[in-house]
Amino acid sequence: MDLNDVDRALDMRIIYSLTGNLPVAEFTKRISINLQSGLHFGEKSLEISFFIPEELASNREISIFLAQSNATKEGNVYFSNFGMATEDLYNGLKEVVDGSKTTILDNMYLSKGTYYLSCRFHSSDLYTVTKNVLKYSRLMEGLSVQYLGPNPGLNTILEDVKKVTRLKQIKWEAKLPDYAKKSFPFSALPDQWVFESRYMTTGEGVSEIVKTNEKIRNAEENGFKETVPGLNLYEFKFGLKEPFLKGFFSYLYDKKMIRFCRIFGYDNGALHISSLVPEVLVDNYMASMSKIADEFPDWQVSLTEVFDAV
C-alpha cells in the first residue's frame, strides 16, 4: 500500500479562498506576489508560516516585512512564522478542516491578498462539505469556494507548491520492537495499512485517515471511526494512543514544520514514513527524526530514501 491508496481513495477536491483583514495579506496585494504558507493548529491557537524566495527580498516592502517578522534565512529562502489570534478565524478554519472527517488539508498559499486552502475529501461527504460552506461563511467573512470537483491527483496539487520551493522526498522506516507490535493500536490493526495526517497540529491532536487492506475488527470499540463504509477508510488519532508517533508529531509541531503528503504505511512490523519537505526545512525535519531515533533506540530508525521531488 502506498500514497496512491490514500490519494485515490479521496476522490474530490475543494479550494477555499479567504479574503479580509488577515495577517500579511494586505502587503501581498499591494505588491502583487504569491507566498507558499502552512497552517498549524495548536490547542487554542493558530499559526501560519511563510516562505519567501530570496530574489523577492530586494523589494523594499518585502525587506521591511522580513525584518519586522524576524524571518530566518535558509539557503535561498526566508521563513517566517505568525500567530493568527482571532477566535473567529481559529474556529472557522478548524471547521473547514474538521467539518468532514475525510478532509485532508493539502496546501495553503497566499496570492495577491487572498489565502487559498486546497483540500481533498471523499464524495460521500459532499453534502456535509457543501452544507458547511454556508456555516463557515457566517463565521468568516470573505470565505468563498474557488473549485469543487474531482481530485486531479496529488501531483497536480503539488505543482503549485513546486513553483515556490524545491521539495525533498524523505522516506524512512522504524522496525517495531515486539512489545510495540503486541500493544495497541498496532495489535488492533491488520498487517498492512497506510494513513495520512489530515492537517498539521500538535502531537495529540493529529487526526489521520487510515486505509487498511481489510476490515478492522471491533473498529468502533477501539476508536477507529469508519468514515466511508465499504472502503476500509477510518479516522483515528495515533498521537493520542501511541508514544512513538505522538513524540514525532510533537517535534514536527514545535518546529512548525510544513510538509506535504504526510503518509505513514505499516507492513508486517515496520512503519514506513514518507513526507515531501520544502528544501529549506529539511534540516528541521532531520532534527525531529534524530530526536525520536534517540528516544526510541529499539525502534531501529533508518533512512530509506531521500531525493529531489521533480
Partner 1 sequence: MFPEDTDPVGDMQCVFAVKSSIPFLVESRKFPFSFSEHMYFTDKAVGEYINVPSYLKKDYEYSIFLKRMQVSEMGDLSVFKITSDEYPEMEIFRELIRIPSVAIDYKYIEGGYHKTVFTFHHTHAMEVSRFIFNARKALGNGIPEYFGSNRGLNYTLEKASKAERLVSGVVSVKPPVSDSDQMKALFATRWIRRLRYTTWENSNDFLYRVDDSAKLSGEIFKSVSEKEKIYTATTASKISVFYSKMLSEHYNPMFYQYHEFDGTLLRICGIISESYGRTFLGIVSDTVKNFPKYDIRVAYLSPIHPRYELINPAIGK
Residues that bind partner 1 (CB under 8 A): 75, 168, 172, 282-283, 286-287, 289-290, 293-294, 300-308
In the complex with partner 1, the residue whose CB is nearer, 170 or 194, is 170
- Which one, 55 or 221, has the nearer CB to partner 1? 55
Query: Is 52 in a helix, a strand, or coil?
Result: strand
CB of 254 to partner 1, least distance (A): 16
| 3-class SS of residue 172 | strand
Is there a contact between 273 and 172 (Cβ–Cβ < 8 Å)? yes
How do beta strands 104-111 and 77-83 pair? Answer: unpaired
- Is 171 strand, coil or helix? strand
According to DSSP, the residues that pair with 12 across neighbouring strands are 121, 150
CA distances from 201 to 28, 106, 248 (A): 26, 13, 12
- Closest approach of partner 1 to the CB of residue 216, in Å: 31
Nearer to partner 1 by C-beta: 64 or 306? Answer: 306
Q: Which is nearer to partner 1, 233 or 301 (CB)?
A: 301
Beta-carbon contacts of 250 under 8 Å, excluding residues fewer than 6 positions away, are: 202, 203, 239
Give the span between the Cα atoms of 38 and 48, in whole angstroms: 5
In the bound state with partner 1, the residue whose beta carbon lies nearer, of 271 and 301, is 301
Q: Which of 120, 114, 83 is nearest to 101 (CA)?
A: 120
Cβ nearer to partner 1, comparing 189 with 252: 252
Count Cβ atoms below 10 Å from residue 89 Cβ, excluding itself: 18
CA-derived radius of gyration, the chain: 19
Of the candidates 178, 36, 57, the residue with the CA atom closest to the CA atom of residue 106: 36
Nearer to partner 1, 115 or 285 (CB): 285
The least distance separating partner 1 from the CB of residue 107, rounded to whole angstroms, comes to: 23
Q: Angle at Cα 31 formed by Cα 26 and Cα 33, nearest 5°?
A: 90
Cell digits of residue 89:
478565524
**Least distance (Å) between residue 256 CB and partner 1:** 18
Minimum distance between the CB of residue 303 and partner 1, rounded to whole angstroms?
Answer: 5
Cis amide prior to 185 (ω within 30 degrees): yes
C-alpha cell at 223: 476508536
For partner 1, which is the closer residue by CB, 42 or 75?
Answer: 75
Shortest Cβ distance from residue 309 to partner 1 (Å)? 12
CB of 54 to partner 1, least distance (A): 11
Residue 252 C-beta: closest distance to partner 1, Å: 16
Closest-CA residue to 310 (of 162, 109, 153)? 162
